[in-house]
Amino acid sequence: MTTNDKTMDILNLQFIGAGNENQQMIFNLDDEEFGIDVLTVQEIVRFTKPVKVPRAPDCVFGVINFRGDIIPVLDLRQIFGLEPVKHDEFTVTIIVKASEKIFGMIVDKVSDIVNVPEPNIQRTEFSSKEKTKYLKAVGKLENRLILMLDLDKVVNFEEIEEALHPSASNSGSNEIPAQ
């Protein structure tokens, strides 16, 4: 835990100092590197097991207490259709703010804060049906490929639900279990 805490402290310090527009915080899911705009990050906290919310969308891991507020935590692995992994000492919750909403995202680990120069950013139209629709651009950094997330889309649960369970949109939350 201590190494993790130290990393987090350093990262937290780094992102406080960050200000450039294309500063990206890099986190990992499996071997993939994802980037989010550093200015959206509120804080990086150690992973705490969220409290499950019954009948919430599958991509919602649960809720946690963040500075006295109760905020939802998303399971990014679920959204990207990745197999669940065991949470280890590197697992962190990134608290972000997007679309005026504050929420947490559980990621395998946070690795870096980098500046992606504008010419290296490739904004492509991603297909709306694929998982890639949560991406807004791809950044190239030497031999690294950074998938830049569109948090506004990530926090739009209705669409996520629709994408994960295309047919279940009607019968989802109001279904009464058979007794």
Instruction: Tell me the window of 33-41, 68-76, 81-89, 139-147 that interacts with other proteins (CB under 8 A).
Output: 68-76
CB of 162 to other proteins, least distance (A): 12
Q: Which is nearer to other proteins, 3 or 179 (CB)?
A: 179
Determine if 15 is a binding residue for other proteins (CB under 8 A). no
CB of 101 to other proteins, least distance (A): 4
83 secondary structure, DSSP code: P
Cβ proximity of 86 and 47 under 8 Å:
no
Cβ proximity of 41 and 25 under 8 Å:
yes
Secondary structure percentages of the chain, helix, strand, coil, to 5: 25, 40, 35
Size of the site for other proteins (CB under 8 A): 28
Nearest of 14, 36, 20, 43 to residue 147 by alpha carbon? 36
Determine if 168 is a binding residue for other proteins (CB under 8 A). no
Among 38, 103, 136, 138, binds other proteins (CB under 8 A): 103
Determine if 164 is a binding residue for other proteins (CB under 8 A). no
**Identity of residue 93:** T
Distances, alpha carbon 167 to alpha carbons 28, 95, 158, 163, in Å = 31, 31, 13, 9
Catalog residues that contact other proteins under the rule CB under 8 A. Answer: 51-57, 60, 63-65, 68-72, 101-103, 155, 157-158, 173-174, 176-179
